[in-house]
A and B are shown apart, each in its own frame.
Chain A
Amino acid sequence: MELRVREAAARRRRYFRLVLLALALVLLGSALFSFWVGYYPLTPDQVVKAFLSRFGWEGELPDQAVTIFWKIRLPRILSALFIGASLSVAGATYQGMFRNPLVSPDILGVSSGASLGAALAILRGSPNWLIQVSAFVGGVAAVAFSYLVSRKSVHSQILSLVLTGSMVMALCNAGVTMIKYVSDPNDVLQQITFWLMGSLTKADMDSFRWSVIPMAVGLAVILLLRWRLNLLTLDEEEARTLGINVRGYRILFIAASTLLSAAAVCLGGLIGWVGLMIPHMARALVGVDYSRLIPASAMLGAAYLVLMDDLARSVLSMELPLGVVTSVMGAPFFIYLILKRKER
């Protein structure tokens, strides 16, 4: 009996390890597949050759393929992978911290803040890099503001954060609407609308290179501390009696998630539903334990977004905004989730 229980637990763990391995293969497969999707398909062996060409390898490969690999497909695919992983990991983190499975990474106002930052920069006619920096700063500032205001509140920390977050969101959205209202409809308004739409058309190697830094830092922090997220899903006092500094971890996880979401918005605009939906799928695959849920969410989110971007750029002759594609896929999933949640 005792042995059977221990054996069953060990078998469960082995099974989940296999699922994680399978997810890694799916991720690799989707990335390679995405090089092939497009007007000029790159086969896996061309991908390898094009990659090696940078390091002095010389083989029979058209110059065009090398250029497409390095200048077009690679930045775009890397951006999709990192944005997908970032949004999903931020979503999984917040769903644990706020003890609510229906929470998305936007809950503290990061996307709204980033939108306001971007809209302001566009209104002032800033160059693309400054728009991105302004969006990043806007996102971080919105979350910092939500956090600082919540500290003055008499309610529990979680409730206060949700309340101040929705307040900051409303303020930022009002700001964006005001900017849209006063801006020139033939030029600035169009640009703002496109920026906010969520798309990877403008993702090039330069913007990827700098936004990958906050994303890597955020992912590393959450990956390293991932098991502790389990404790944050408990009641605050209970977690404290288990010997952990609940509020300290909350600040850390909020900071890391904010880096992830803010950088993701800078690079790809508003891409909704990924951060809400992927953690649920990951839970169905590897269970609720955060030591598996975080890596699973990261891999699944990366694979999902890169495939959605393939869809966005191949389904019609013109390109669809990625944010529209993820919403069309995500909103029905959300309804399904609400209907299904009762059964558990």
Chain B
Amino acid sequence: MLLEVESVWGGYGSKDVVRGVSCGAEAGEILCLVGPNGCGKTTLFRLMLGILPIRQGHIRIDGREVSGLSPKELSGLIAYIPQYHNPVYAYTALDVVVMGRAARFSAFDTPREDDREAAFAAMEKLNVLSLANEKYTALSGGQRQMVLIARAICQSARIFVLDEPAANLDYANQQRLMEALRDLAKKGYCVVMSTHSPEHPASIGNKALLMREGQVAAFGTPAQVITSAHLEAVYGIPIDVVTVQDSRGVKRTICLPVGGGK
């Protein structure tokens, strides 16, 4: 398995926010983390990225322990795509993407032609090459996210971690982002994302992890995890999970909170 999380405990200082979580994902899969605020999704990401120390348990990427890897080695395996990204200075999108190559050249060097070519190629892959010379600070939220995904590709990481990527996007851009993530998975990348919408795992996820208070409430395929009983147990409100067919004949899953409307 590409990403393996095995009964992991960890958090800030002496307080464990993530308590005994196990999950995993293969290359080409999308793993969605769902759960209420403060359930430990972001903390689990930080543990995967090697930002927080793992107090107990194991996280392995491609069989290698995350805790034993340097930031430089980790950057070639797993990439982080932040949500709120407001740089102080007006870099061009190209400058931002090239930063993904930071671990590949010596500290005394500046990016060379092959680094820029890798950045162009990554942007081409995502159909955002036309943004290369634009100021990053002038781009829309959706465009920024695509640029950051290009940076992750440039990093040559195989796992992409996205913290609530849809949160700041309008409706159409959310759909475009989901399309892009699906494409990445098809190309063999492993996508790990957190989301507030339990419908996301059903629509694009191969796997879903439902969390509550730092622990696993359910883990498996979206169909196994996103059920009325599980969601009700985690969110504390009655929720219906219904399957419908859209106008193109595709089966879709919709979650509906019930009983609170009147």
Residues of chain A touching chain B, judged by Cβ–Cβ distance below 8 Å, are 1-2, 5-6, 8-9, 12, 96, 99-101, 224-228, 230-231, 233-235, 237-238, 240-245, 283, 287-289, 291, 344
Q: How many residues of B contact A (CB 8 A)?
A: 41
Report which residue of A231, A245, A289 has the largest number of chain B beta carbons within 10 angstroms of its beta carbon.
A289
Contact present for B51 and A241 (CB under 8 Å): yes
CB distance from A66 to the nearest CB of B (A): 41
CB distance from A282 to the nearest CB of B (A): 12
Closest 7 CB pairs of A and B: A243-B75, A243-B103, A288-B89, A241-B80, A243-B72, A291-B110, A227-B110
Contact present for B91 and A242 (CB under 8 Å): no
A-B contact pairs, 9 of them (CB 8 A): A99-B88, A225-B108, A230-B91, A234-B87, A238-B85, A241-B79, A242-B103, A244-B103, A291-B110
Which residues of the partner chain B approach A237 to less than 8 Å between Cβ atoms? 46, 49, 51, 80
Contact present for B95 and A245 (CB under 8 Å): no
CB distance from B71 to the nearest CB of A (A): 5
Which residues of the partner chain A approach B129 to less than 8 Å between Cβ atoms? 1-2, 5
Contact status of A9 and B132, CB under 8 A, knowing A238-B80, A344-B137: yes
Contact present for A233 and B88 (CB under 8 Å): yes
Chain B contacts with A in 67-88, Cβ cutoff 8 A: 71-76, 78-80, 82, 85, 87-88
Which residues of the partner chain B approach A344 to less than 8 Å between Cβ atoms? 90, 137
Apart from A231-B102, A237-B49, A243-B76, what 7 extra A-B contacts exist at CB < 8 Å? A2-B124, A228-B102, A233-B87, A237-B51, A241-B75, A245-B71, A288-B89
Contact present for B95 and A289 (CB under 8 Å): yes
Q: Is B246 an interface residue (CB 8 A)?
A: no
Contact present for A101 and B88 (CB under 8 Å): yes
0/1 string, B85-109, CB within 8 A of A gives 1: 1011111101100011011000111
Report which residue of A100, A226, A231, A238 has the largest number of chain B beta carbons within 10 angstroms of its beta carbon.
A238
Q: Which residue of B lies closest to A226 (CB)?
A: B110
Report which residue of B46, B78, B90, B95 has the largest number of chain A beta carbons within 10 angstroms of its beta carbon.
B95
Which residues of the partner chain A approach B74 to less than 8 Å between Cβ atoms? 241, 243
Bound Cα distance from A230 to B82, whole angstroms: 17
Contact present for A240 and B88 (CB under 8 Å): no
Contact present for B108 and A242 (CB under 8 Å): no
CB distance from A94 to the nearest CB of B (A): 13
Which residues of the partner chain A approach B107 to less than 8 Å between Cβ atoms? 224-225, 228
Of A9, A99, A224, the contact of B133 (CB 8 Å cutoff): A9
Bound Cα distance from A288 to B100, whole angstroms: 17
